Amino acid sequence: MDRSHDDFLRDAAARFGTPVYLYDLTRITAQVTELREAFPTARIHYAVKANASGAVLRHIASLGLGAEALTIGELERSLRAGFPAANILLGGPGITPELAQRALMAGVGVVSLDGEGAYDAFKQVMGRPGAPTVSAPPRFLVRLNPGFDPHTHEHLATAAPTSKFGVPMQEAERLAERVAADGGLAGFHVHAGSMLRDAEVASMVVRSLEPLYERFQGLELVDVGGGFAVPGAPLEAFAAEYAAFAQRFGVTPIVEPGRVVVAEAGVLLTRVLHVKGSAPRHVIADAGMADLLRPALYGAEHPVRVVGAKAEQKGVTTDHGAEHPVRVVGATADQPAVTTDVDGPLCENADRLAQGVQLGEVAAGDLLSVGQAGAYGFAMASNYASSLRAAEAVWDGEELRLARRRETPEDLWRLET
């Protein structure tokens, strides 16, 4: 990054304090353009769980994407942000009669059924006396668990045999017959997992779906999920597999990208509190697992650098098989790079932002930038140890503005009775 950009980051930290999440809306626009070019015939539904910031959602809605929501909160956020209800896809394993009723009242367009219980919830609501009158009832997808290895971390492998998502083939067929008898079956859904980098996974997805589309004729949609890795997923290779399948069966593909839309548009800015030790050196920052859980949850790796320090490329590191440049930051002949753990402030040994990274000179008060933090960063933040959740800010190409204020201690007990 050039100096002008680093000055911008320093200005943001000075204005909003640290830790702070900063999202570049212009980068989100560019990512959406890339997705549309890769998937020109698909319906693109942004996975709200990746980043549900109101400012981010409003921007994505303004670009004309649909939304994919899993909970009542995500549904309400999507509607509030301006996504048309007909362009919202509701899914997930936790559909209740209350959520089904709200979806029907709002006019949600498509529902992915994770199993029989989800359809039962909708049938229960639709069969009640005084049930909401729906001019255009939702179309239903049945989510298949194909039971294959999607070549990613076990916590991210939603198509694995042990995954809790979807149902096996025979159950999927039974549920589809039931939905089709009611006139509501639109197609099937497979979401293989997250951080997908191997395009062979797309081939496995379509092979698992072929028997269902051969048996059930005249369907409208196929939902192939999202989960594309950041950085550098081969979108065109995935898209080619899905487009060929869709053309063969005369259906419209749906993709549900989340991470690829927002991850690289976001950074987490955090201030160094203390530096101690030497092998490894421990840099204690004011952000940690309460702010960015991914490293502690499944060993995710985020690029970390000292804002204002020069960086040179040295080798590669991996995030579940992905190759990234290692940034040796601030290293000079007088101050060689040092193996460093960037740690958070909490009393947990898992409270790390990065381990074993190569950093040059770093001191208390320095500003660190944690990259690829726009997805599943603030979305997974918590008040563990009564931590105060960070502020969020956005840049729209012209103006830097606060999108969510930093929490105060009073916010911790505001809902207590």
Active site (catalytic) residues: 347
Phi, psi angle pair for 55, to nearest 5°:
-65, -40
Half-sphere exposure of 147 (CA within 13 A, CB side): 6
100, 104, 107, 112: CA torsion to nearest 10: 40
Question: Rounded distance, CA 26 to CA 264, Å?
Answer: 11
- In which residue are the tokens 């548009």 written? 265
Task: Please give the Cα distance from 198 to 228 (Å, whole number).
Answer: 9
CA–CA distance, 61 with 112 (Å, rounded to integer): 21
**Angle CA(60)–CA(84)–CA(187) in degrees, nearest 5?**
95
123 closest CA partner among 196, 78, 179: 179
Q: DSSP assignment of 368-382, as one string?
A: EEE-S-SSSSGGG--
The whole-angstrom separation of Cα 362 and Cα 35 is: 38
Q: Which helix (H) or strand (E) holds 117?
A: helix 116-126
Cα 379 to chain center, whole Å?
A: 8
In order of 151, 227, 280, 380, the CA distances from 302 in angstroms are 20, 17, 18, 15
First to last CA, the chain: 48
Long-range (24+ apart) CB contacts under 8 A made by 243-248 are 243/39, 243/41, 243/42, 244/206, 245/206, 245/209, 245/210, 246/41, 246/42, 246/222
